[in-house]
Amino acid sequence: MTSANDTHDEAPPETDSRSGHLAQLRRGLQARPRTIPPRWLYDDRGSELFDQITRLPEYYPTEAEREILARYSAKIAEVSGATTVVELGSGTSDKTRTLLDAFVAHGAIERFAPLDVSEATLFFAAEVLDQRYPDLAVEPVVGDFTHHLSGLPVGGTRLIAFLGGTIGNFYQEERRAFLGALADVLEPGDSVLLGVDLLKAVDRILAAYDDSDGVTDAFIRNALQVINRELDADFDIGNFEYVPFWDARERRVDMRLRACEPERAHIGALDLDVDVEAGEELRVEISTKFDPSELTAELVDAGFDNVEFFADPNGDFGLVLARRT
């Protein structure tokens, strides 16, 4: 197994992305409200915690998306005609196996390229997939989909799968920029498959982000643990409580950490002191919920057409398939 990045002669992408992530973190911590980019959630421990979240009874998106994949993957394989499937933020590629089963049965797929920032999770998943699909070239790519789209495998007809509702973690302007950047690296005839969480009763939405076992709490706190460890910082993690809430205007869940007492945290790698007041909140992640027609319009604006929408019977979650024009 090889990474697509192995073939590039330019500067190592991890160097470029690290400086970009540090600059983004600095801006976020100096803004109001202060923000911590979601990238800091996903070390190996964060990936393990998120995998636990997807198995929680309160977290409906995983099983709803799995049901859609079971119903419609054969059609997706036929309509896309893809010979290469690329998955952004692949993690364990658990649900993706349902999609790959359909593509293998369809007979056109030659290659699967999962991309993720967690090397350990990525390569473990790739080994499992190698055994499940012995005739399929599995080419894992260690990278960040917000920085490394130019390093995606080229050639053939590609389907870029971005599952799990992760597109909802972008702010609106970031989402539109990302869709535009994705369109820029695709060729006419390539496709994108987006998993999107749909608007529904607010109590059901909030329950999915405030589970009784406290796994989501631990996942959001993990961002501070990663920053402390990797950036020589000294946030008092126990001084923060996890606070999720619904922003009705933006139609999203905000996941924040609220300081119980004032503190000054120093981040050595940034040479930055952050003075946090009691009650002040650090926004760590958002999860936007979508209206299908509005998302379709965004995709068309970004350079896609032939948009098809698939939903589970309860209308909780959707898959959007769109072709690059």
User: Residue for token digits 């820029």?
Assistant: 184
Which pLDDT does position 179 carry in this prediction?
97
241/49 Cα distance (integer angstroms): 17
Q: Assess if residue 2 is contained within a domain.
A: no
Q: How confident is the model at residue 1 (pLDDT cuts 50, 70, 90)?
A: very low
Mean pLDDT of 35-42: 92
pLDDT for 123-135, tens place per residue?
899 999 999 999 9
- With a pLDDT cut of 70, the percent of the chain lying above it is 95
pLDDT surpasses 90 at 13: no
Which pLDDT does position 12 carry in this prediction?
37
Q: Assess if residue 73 is contained within a domain.
A: yes
pLDDT surpasses 90 at 321: yes
CATH code of residue 98: 3.40.50.150
Mean pLDDT of 5-12: 31
40/21 Cα distance (integer angstroms): 9
Which pLDDT does position 305 carry in this prediction?
97
Mean pLDDT of 137-165: 90
- In the numeric block, which tokens belong to residue 4? 């697509």
Q: Assess if residue 213 is contained within a domain.
A: no
Q: Assess if residue 114 is contained within a domain.
A: yes
User: Burial level of 104, CB count in 10 A (0-12/13-18/19+)?
Assistant: middle
274/93 Cα distance (integer angstroms): 37
- In the numeric block, which tokens belong to residue 165? 């509702």
| Domain around 157 | 60-201+290-324
pLDDT surpasses 50 at 309: yes
**How many domains in the chain?**
1
pLDDT for 174-195, tens place per residue?
999 999 999 999 999 999 999 9
Closest CA to 29 of 255, 240, 286, 265: 265
25/231 Cα distance (integer angstroms): 11
Average pLDDT, the chain: 92
If you ran DSSP here, which 8-state letter would residue 1 be given? -
Q: Assess if residue 320 is contained within a domain.
A: yes
Q: How confident is the model at residue 285 (pLDDT cuts 50, 70, 90)?
A: very high
pLDDT surpasses 60 at 7: no
Which pLDDT does position 148 carry in this prediction?
76
- In the numeric block, which tokens belong to residue 252? 């999203």
Q: How confident is the model at residue 91 (pLDDT cuts 50, 70, 90)?
A: confident
* Contact residues for 190 (Cβ-Cβ < 8 A; gap 6+): 82, 157, 158, 159, 160, 323, 324
Closest CA to 70 of 101, 112, 44, 42: 101
Mean pLDDT of 214-231: 97
Other Cβ atoms less than 10 A from the Cβ of 185: the count is 15
If you ran DSSP here, which 8-state letter would residue 316 be given? S
Which pLDDT does position 129 carry in this prediction?
94
Mean pLDDT of 227-242: 98
- In the numeric block, which tokens belong to residue 286? 């958002």
Q: Assess if residue 152 is contained within a domain.
A: yes
* Three-class DSSP category at 126: helix
Q: Assess if residue 250 is contained within a domain.
A: no
Closest CA to 76 of 113, 107, 102: 102
Strands 263-267 and 304-311: unpaired
- With a pLDDT cut of 90, the percent of the chain lying above it is 82
Strand blocks (E) in the chain: 34-35, 84-88, 111-116, 137-138, 141-142, 158-162, 191-197, 240-247, 252-259, 263-267, 272-276, 281-288, 304-311, 317-324
Q: pTM of the prediction?
A: 0.87
Q: Assess if residue 192 is contained within a domain.
A: yes
pLDDT surpasses 80 at 214: yes
Which pLDDT does position 16 carry in this prediction?
52
